[in-house]
Chains A and B, each alone.
Chain A
Amino acid sequence: MKKAIILSIIFFNILIQTTVLELAGILGVIPNTSLLLVIAFAMNLNPKEIIAYSLLTGIILDVLSGGIVGMNTFGFLVIAYFIFYVRVELVKNSYLTSFIISTLSIIAYNFITLFFVYVLGFAVRFRYFFSYATIIEIVYNGAVGMIIYFLFTQMYESRFKKEKY
């Protein structure tokens, strides 16, 4: 049951991110809900699940979004690993914590993707990296990250925490 629900969340999240979310863009910037979902996984699930679901989310997003296949997966796994590693030190169920983690994660994700885009010889828009769009992206992801984190954590704690698997 738990697996089915999480897999459904991953499927519908990516569906929404690649279609409907375009309507919620602020100056062309839309939140990376897949990354924010991976953050929620890393804050709540066990390591085996974190690896499996982050990998799955990354691969599907990579295939559907084009560009460099594997880049999102790489970023998601690295970020998920670090969040899991430090999560015992973090204050859980805090808006501020989730906002800070989301913003730091999107910055880290941008650096990881920038690295691969540059190393693999693709054109790099450094100007974008230092433009207003980046600030919008960071704040927007931070805000949406809080919502996703709380929705997932609430669902996880109310439905799955007692469930044995």
Chain B
Amino acid sequence: MERNFFKNKYAIIIMVILIGLVIFMGLTSQERDEITVIENWIGNIYAPVQRVVTYPIHLAQDRIYDLANFARLNQENQELVARITELERQLIDAELSNRELDELRGLREGLNQVPARELEEIVTARIISKTHVEWFNTFTIDAGTIHNVEIGSLVISERGLVGRVIDVGDYWSRVMSIVDTNSSVSFKVLSDNSIQGIASGGLDEFLEGYLLDTRDEVELGDQIVTSGQGLFPSGILIGEVAEITSSSGQLLDRIKIEPAVDFRRINRVTVINF
């Protein structure tokens, strides 16, 4: 009896809901300028709770990682001290160049020839939730429109490029990482800026890509940065070449890029409106 009742009345209700869901999926599956009110509310309710829950977890993870890597961190520290000394020397040179650049920039704005496009806002945010759906590699951060985060904002960490903001609520935002299969990044090789290519997310949190010019060649360990073509500004570290696959059947060499950011351990990010 229960089965028949469900089969008729409730089956029809479910069918109606499913049709509605299919229409909704079709309408919202493309990139949107803003999310719906319901999505914003649900996000606003969960974001502060997720923040409270994830904070001690991330703190404990960081401490355990630090303890487990003490010897390596000590060596890394010594290397960094040497690196800082070198960078300080370079900074002095750069400051001299910067002064010249400022003068030229002031002149340009004064002439109103090109609108200034500078970094407007920098927001530090904590990751409060990671998506574990096979098809997507996104995460939620605890900064939203009230922190001036916008759709398309750049997301980086201290190690390199993380991704970009795809949805924004009042107190939260969703970030699509560069290792998401739907993400695409134009890159160039740091040692030779003329070598360019396109990479997107692959399996195992690596990026997979190819070079635009078939005559170009890269080597294992070559550092890869954003080229400035497309959604990301130029010069942000993406990672390094981990594998090169050449095949006689394929016109383009495929390369596998190990991201500079460890996406399994990342807990904090910086969001930049550019």
A interface residue numbers (CB < 8 A to B):
14-15, 17-23, 25, 28-30, 46-48, 51, 55, 59-60, 63-71, 73-74, 77-78, 81, 84-85, 88, 110, 113-114, 116-117, 120-125, 127-129, 131, 133, 137
CB atoms of A66 and B43 under 8 A apart: no
- Residue in contact with B14 in the complex, picked from A51, A64, A67, A113, CB distance below 8 Å: A51
**Contact call A67/B132, Cβ cutoff below 8 A:** no
Please state if A67 and B128 are interface contacts (CB–CB under 8 Å): no
Chain B contacts to A: CB under 8 angstroms: 2-3, 5-7, 10-11, 13-14, 17-18, 21-22, 24-26, 28-29, 38-39, 42-43, 46, 49-50, 53-54, 57, 128-136, 138, 140, 166-167, 174, 176, 181-182, 200-203, 264
- Interface CB pairs A-B, < 8 A, 22: A18-B50, A18-B130, A19-B129, A28-B132, A47-B10, A48-B10, A64-B42, A65-B131, A66-B138, A66-B174, A67-B133, A68-B29, A74-B25, A81-B14, A84-B6, A88-B3, A113-B133, A122-B135, A122-B182, A123-B201, A129-B134, A137-B134
Chain B nearest CB: distance from A63 CB in Å?
4
The prevalent SS among residues of B at the interface is: helix
With the chains together, A71 CA to B166 CA distance in Å? 18
Complex-state Cα separation, A137 to B18, whole angstroms: 26
A interface: dominant SS = helix
**B7 contacts which chain A residues (CB < 8 A)?**
85
In the complex, A15 Cα to B6 Cα: how many Å? 31
The answer to whether A22 touches B46 (Cβ under 8 A) is no
B25 x A116 contact (CB < 8 A) = yes
Query: What is the bound-complex CA distance between A127 and B206, given in angstroms?
Result: 14
Q: B50 contacts A66, CB within 8 Å?
A: no
Q: In the assembly, what is the distance between CA of A141 and CA of B224, in Å?
A: 38
Distance of A79 Cα from B29 Cα, bound (Å):
22
